[in-house]
Amino acid sequence: MKVLIADQKLVTDIYPMEEAIPTMRRALTLLAGGDVVMPLRSYLAIPGGDAVMGLMPSFMGGLEAVGVKVVAAFPANFGTEYDTHQGVVLFFDTERGLLRAIVDATSITAIRTAAVSGLVTDLLARPDAGDLAIIGAGTQAHTHLQAMRAVRPVRRVRVSSVPAESAADFAEREARLTGLPVEAVATAEEAVAGADLICTTTTATEPVLRGAWVAPGAHINAVGAYTPTTRELDSELVAKARLYADKRESLLSESGEFLIPKSEGLFGDEHIVGEIGEVLTGTAPARTSPDEVTLFKSLGIAIEDLASAHRIYEICKERELGTWVEIGGLHFGNAVEG
């Protein structure tokens, strides 16, 4: 049986935001419709540091797909030649459980995370939003700039990061690639002053963005923190914003942005306006006024990876791309006789 192997370069080449954002729309709509089975991800903490190995299984009936992302998150990779997320997404069919694709997870994670933020921004940000602040200057900063440009007329970009040299390098590179004015600034407060689009894409464990700095009407995509004890946003900001989740269960279990201010008594579970899939299907409201601050707390969920691997498999079949190898498939006796 032929199995697709899609490497990092191939995924990056064939899965732009124009493909990824509609794929995420379909996945989150299926989630809202109940055609998904997706347990919470499980983690293995690797001794001696803050690295973890995560397992993210899911089933999507509408795509006839089942699979798992196996990802190693190594924050210490930031600033090296290696991405902080390493791994693969395995896609199996639901007819016979046959392995169909092995897809690089570094590229899928980078693209699908930003694509979801792009989808959410299109749903929640003001139509005229275009003054973008990015906190952090790594892989997700790059893909989030792509995603924001795909859904809004970005006019200006300010970026801040630690170390400051990362922001300067990002600004120079992205200005050259996009033709936009991209400015490296010294602080997050300076970056977000007056901004109506904000993306936090850091490895921070303590708040780097405070409510007092955020202008009325801004939309925020917070994507960096993903454990109950870490956060990029302070309690004041989360409390004053209209809060949306990719999946409510994940937010209630995994998000320090939500759990820490909740433990401080600032709000309860009702503070969550809804899931993005519910906004797509009309069962949760989107923005209700120009001046309110909207906040999407992204944790990244398994169907986003599976739907991406499925779409990449379809594209590679259609265009005859990728590496195809024989892996498994037959009953052992038939394989031996063959």
Across the chain, mean pLDDT equals 95
Pair of tokens at residue 269: 């579970």
pLDDT at position 217 over 80 = yes
Whole-number pLDDT of residue 80: 86
Whole-number pLDDT of residue 1: 78
Q: How many helices (H) and strands (E) does the chain have?
A: 12, 16
Whole-number pLDDT of residue 332: 57
Summarize the confidence of residues 89-103 as an average pLDDT: 96
How far apart are alpha carbons 295 and 124 in whole angstroms?
Answer: 9
Numbered ranges of CATH 3.30.1780.10 in the chain: 2-108+302-337
User: Does the global pTM surpass 0.85?
Assistant: yes
How does pLDDT run across 148-199, given as a tens digit for each residue?
999 999 999 999 999 999 999 999 999 999 999 999 999 999 999 999 999 9
Summarize the confidence of residues 213-222 as an average pLDDT: 98
Whole-number pLDDT of residue 50: 85
How far apart are alpha carbons 149 and 112 in whole angstroms?
Answer: 15
Numbered ranges of CATH 3.40.50.720 in the chain: 125-297
pLDDT at position 270 over 60 = yes
Helices (H), the chain: 8-14, 17-32, 105-124, 139-151, 164-178, 188-192, 235-240, 248-254, 256-263, 276-281, 302-319, 332-337
The four Cα atoms 194, 299, 241, 115 give a dihedral, to 10 degrees, of 50
CATH architecture of the domain with range 2-108+302-337: 2-Layer Sandwich (3.30)
Pair of tokens at residue 54: 């995560």
How far apart are alpha carbons 78 and 76 in whole angstroms?
Answer: 5
pLDDT at position 283 over 80 = yes
Neighbours of 34 (CB within 10 A): 9
Q: Indicate the CATH number for domain 125-297.
A: 3.40.50.720
Whole-number pLDDT of residue 333: 57
Summarize the confidence of residues 192-218 as an average pLDDT: 96
Q: What is the CA radius of gyration of the chain?
A: 20
How does pLDDT run across 43-86, given as a tens digit for each residue?
899 998 889 899 999 999 999 999 999 999 898 887 788 988 89
Whole-number pLDDT of residue 76: 87
Summarize the confidence of residues 215-220 as an average pLDDT: 98
Q: Residue 211 — φ and ψ, nearest 5°?
A: -60, -35
